[in-house]
């Protein structure tokens, strides 16, 4: 799923507009967790992380776990410094009004999986 499709399909609000939604940047994997040590150990690379955590450590962990994007559920939004750090790391940030469960379901319906099948 392309990032542009992800934004349209899920009705996401981009929080890092300085990063272009590259047409070639596909999302095939996703991981849902609010426990950052779990993300570091289990999130598949080149995917999207879905969480409600909005502090700066989320970006650091997403970078370590080689995530392309983070979706903040339930209208959560990080502060401006966290958004700037994400942009520096090349990690797209998005906000959604939906709960994490529904975001994950929509991604699954669009062919995004958690692990390689």
**Can you list the domains of the chain with their CATH numbers?**
3-109 (3.40.1390.20)
As a dihedral over the C-alpha atoms of residue 78, residue 79, residue 84, residue 86, rounded to 10 degrees, the angle is -20
Q: Is the pLDDT reported for residue 23 higher than 70?
A: no
| Rounded CA separation 101/16 (Å) | 23
Q: Is the pLDDT reported for residue 14 higher than 70?
A: yes
Nearest residue to 12 (alpha-carbon basis) of 96, 103, 85: 96
Q: Which tens digits make up the pLDDT trace of 24-42?
A: 568 999 999 999 999 999 9
Query: Hey, what are 24's tokens?
Result: 């070639």
Quote the pTM value. Answer: 0.95
Q: Is the pLDDT reported for residue 113 higher than 70?
A: yes
Q: Which tens digits make up the pLDDT trace of 27-83?
A: 999 999 999 999 999 999 999 999 999 999 999 999 999 999 999 999 999 999 999
Helix (H, G, I), strand (E, B) or coil at 17: coil
Q: Is 89 exposed, middle or buried (0-12, 13-18, 19+ CB in 10 A)?
A: middle
């Amino acid at each position: 799923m392309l990032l542009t499709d992800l934004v349209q399909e899920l009705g996401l609000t981009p929080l890092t507009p300085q990063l272009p939604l590259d047409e070639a940047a596909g999302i095939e994997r996703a991981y849902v967790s609010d426990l950052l040590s779990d993300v570091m150990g289990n999130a598949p690379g080149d995917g999207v992380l879905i969480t409600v955590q909005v502090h700066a450590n989320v970006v650091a962990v997403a970078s370590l776990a080689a995530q392309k994007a983070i979706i903040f559920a339930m209208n959560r939004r990080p502060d401006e410094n966290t958004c700037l750090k994400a942009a520096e790391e090349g990690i797209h940030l998005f906000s959604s009004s939906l709960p994490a469960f529904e975001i994950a379901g929509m991604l699954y319906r669009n062919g995004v999986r958690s692990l390689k099948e």
